[in-house]
Structure 1
Amino acid sequence: MLERSHLLVVREVERQGSLTAAADALNLTQSALSHTVKKLEQQLGTQVWAREGRSMRLTQAGQYLLGLANRLLPQFEHAEDRMKQYANGERGTLRIGMECHPCYQWLLKVVSPYLARWPDVDVDVKQRFQFGGIGALFGYDIDVLVTPDPLKKPGLRFQPVFDYEQVLVVADSHVLAGESYVVPEHLSTEVLITYPVETDRLDIYTRFLTPANVVPKRHKVIETTDIMLQMVASGRGVAALPRWLAEDYADRMPLVPLRLGKKGVAKQIFLGTREADDAIDYLAAFVALAREADWGTARLRGKRQ
């Protein structure tokens, strides 16, 4: 019979790369872990690992078990944490996943009043997911997903939080700074600076450049907003960001936000949750507070003009 402990072994051996390291992580002796591995393969009637010297490589059956472990174990761990919190009279921890790099400033505006209203709830923010944001939500690695690109799936609920406009940000001394809007061809001679996200998930490509069959002179990735906009302000490239964020930085840096195309590029930020968690009061309260917050929409002046 396949047990949870077997899945723990499969996951840990893969993580650590050897039986010795996995045994240490699982607080077992190497001989005990070797016995468990041998017994598991005997029970299943198939090899889970292929031995290659001192290293171990998962077989096809092992890869299947690893996928199962990565899906199920976080749910067990989440359930155990939740039960401990209930037993201790605590509310719990709200784990927020971010698929929107520039949304941290917005999130801070929501988290601050939320923590004040819910003093018995902690907040944790995650940005890197083994299976993407949707997978993290399904796998109980996170409780809320902040994303501009919702993917409708059974069991998940996505609610729009606010609308925003994607704009091009240039230095105030840039040759385009005086334009009312830019066209894709303008970027063919520019260094485009973006967050480290696949181009097929960047709106500047999917909704502006690619349809016009235009590519920038060069594409450079930078992880942090501050450094990205310092580069833009120094004339070393241009960037595409939400207008509310661009205008916030333009208040203190020599930057100019420009509309992408004559009509602009309109977007929304969504919060994704599991339908099964609808009854969790502190989670519902976070979503409600996020939808009430007007900090993002207040900075959409360019979209209304």
Structure 2
Amino acid sequence: MIERSHLAILRAVEQAGSLTAAAERLHLTQSALSHSIKKLEQQLGAPVWEREGRQLRPTQAGQYLLGLAGRLLPQLEHAEDVIARMAAGERGVLRIGMECHPCYQWLLKIVGPYLTAWPGVDVDVKQQFQFGGMAALFGHDIDLLVTPDPLHKPGVEFTPVFDYEQVLVVANHHPLAQQDFVRPEQLVGEVLISYPVPVERLDIFSHFMLPAGVAPRSHKTIETTDILLHTVAVGRGVAALPRWLVAEYAERLPIKAVSLGEQGIAKHIYVGVRTADRNTDYIDAFIRQAATVSWRQEVK
């Protein structure tokens, strides 16, 4: 019978790279770890590891069990953490995955009131899941995903919490700053700055420039919002960001928001949760709190 300890050992060997390092990580002797693996292989009637020189490589059976470990162990560990918190008189921890760089500023406006209203709940933001949120949600690495591009799949529910306009950001002295909107061909000579996101996930490419068959002069990426907008402010490039974020930074930087096309690009921010968790009170409360904060409140 496959036990949790077997899956934990397989995961540790895969992560650590050797039996010795895995044994140290699990606080076991190497002989005890080897015996456990050998016993599992006898029960299964198939090897789970094979040696390539000094390296261990999982067999087909081992790969299958590693996949199982990747799905089940995070769920069990999360369940233990939740129950331990309940036993200590706490409600739990809400782990939020961000698949939206500029949404961090928006999230900060929600977290304060939420923590005040739910003193027994901790909030943890997992920014490393910015571009792999669905896998993290299904794997129980996060409990809630904030994204502008939901992938509707069975087992996950997405709730739109606010809408916004994606706009072009330029310096106040840029020629395009005097226009109400820009056309795709007007960006051909520009340096486009974005977050380090695959091009196919950038709205300015997929919804604006590529349909028109044009591309910017060059494309560069910057990780942080502050540095990105300071770079735009001194005229070293243009960027596409939510209008509410540009309005907030325009109070202290010489930047201007210009609509992308005459109709603009309308977007929505969604919050996704596992269907099984949708009725959890503190998760539902966060979604309701999120829906009360929008860019309209910030630009008044």
The Cα of 1:59 is off from its aligned counterpart by 2.5
8 Å contact 1:165–1:300 — kept in the other structure? Answer: no
Cα deviation, 1:85-109, whole Å, max 9, x if unaligned, reads 2212211111111001100110000
What is the aligned partner in structure 2 of residue 141 from structure 1? Answer: 141
Equivalent residue letter for 2:70: N
1:167 and 2:196 matched: no
Moved more, 256-265 or 285-294: 285-294
SS at match of 1:101: coil
Cα deviation, 1:200-259, whole Å, max 9, x if unaligned, reads 111111111111121221111111100111111121111110000011111100111111
SS at match of 1:189: coil
Decide whether aligned partners of structure 1 residues 209 and 112 sit closer, same or farther in structure 2, where only a CA change above 3 A counts.
same
Equivalent residue letter for 2:149: D
What is the aligned partner in structure 1 of residue 181 from structure 2? Answer: 181
- Partners of 1:137 and 1:116 lie apart in 2 by 25
1:62 and 2:57 matched: no
- Partners of 1:210 and 1:172 lie apart in 2 by 26
- Partners of 2:66 and 2:201 lie apart in 1 by 28
Cα deviation, 1:121-180, whole Å, max 9, x if unaligned, reads 110000223992112112211111101011112221111100000001111121211121
Equivalent residue letter for 2:193: I
How many residues are matched?
A: 300
Moved more, 177-186 or 100-109: 177-186
Cα deviation, 1:23-61, whole Å, max 9, x if unaligned, reads 111111122212222222232222322212221122232
What is the aligned partner in structure 2 of residue 252 from structure 1? Answer: 252
- Partners of 2:43 and 2:137 lie apart in 1 by 32
1:297 and 2:291 matched: no
What is the aligned partner in structure 2 of residue 41 from structure 1? Answer: 41
Decide whether aligned partners of structure 1 residues 204 and 15 sit closer, same or farther in structure 2, where only a CA change above 3 A counts.
same
SS at match of 1:220: strand
- Partners of 1:190 and 1:57 lie apart in 2 by 49
8 Å contact 1:157–1:274 — kept in the other structure? Answer: yes
Report 1:49-128 matches (<5 A): 49-128=49-128
Which consecutive residues of structure 1, in runs of 5 or more, have no partner in the other structure? none
Report 1:18-33 matches (<5 A): 18-33=18-33
Moved more, 158-167 or 21-30: 21-30
What is the aligned partner in structure 1 of residue 210 from structure 2? Answer: 210
Q: CA RMSD in A?
A: 1.7
8 Å contact 1:165–1:265 — kept in the other structure? Answer: yes
TM-score (norm 2): 0.95
Report 1:274-293 matches (<5 A): 274-293=274-293
Equivalent residue letter for 2:243: R
What is the aligned partner in structure 1 of residue 228 from structure 2? Answer: 228
- Partners of 2:174 and 2:49 lie apart in 1 by 58
Equivalent residue letter for 1:275: T
8 Å contact 2:98–2:126 — kept in the other structure? Answer: yes
Cα deviation, 1:52-72, whole Å, max 9, x if unaligned, reads 222112223222222111111
- The percent of aligned pairs where both chains have the same amino acid is 65
- Partners of 1:130 and 1:270 lie apart in 2 by 14
Equivalent residue letter for 2:142: I
8 Å contact 1:48–1:58 — kept in the other structure? Answer: yes
Equivalent residue letter for 1:44: L
The Cα of 1:271 is off from its aligned counterpart by 0.6
What is the aligned partner in structure 1 of residue 153 from structure 2? Answer: 153
Cα deviation, 1:254-296, whole Å, max 9, x if unaligned, reads 11111101100000000111221133211111111111224x2
TM-score (norm 1): 0.94
- Partners of 1:188 and 1:170 lie apart in 2 by 15
- Partners of 1:55 and 1:14 lie apart in 2 by 10
SS at match of 1:37: helix
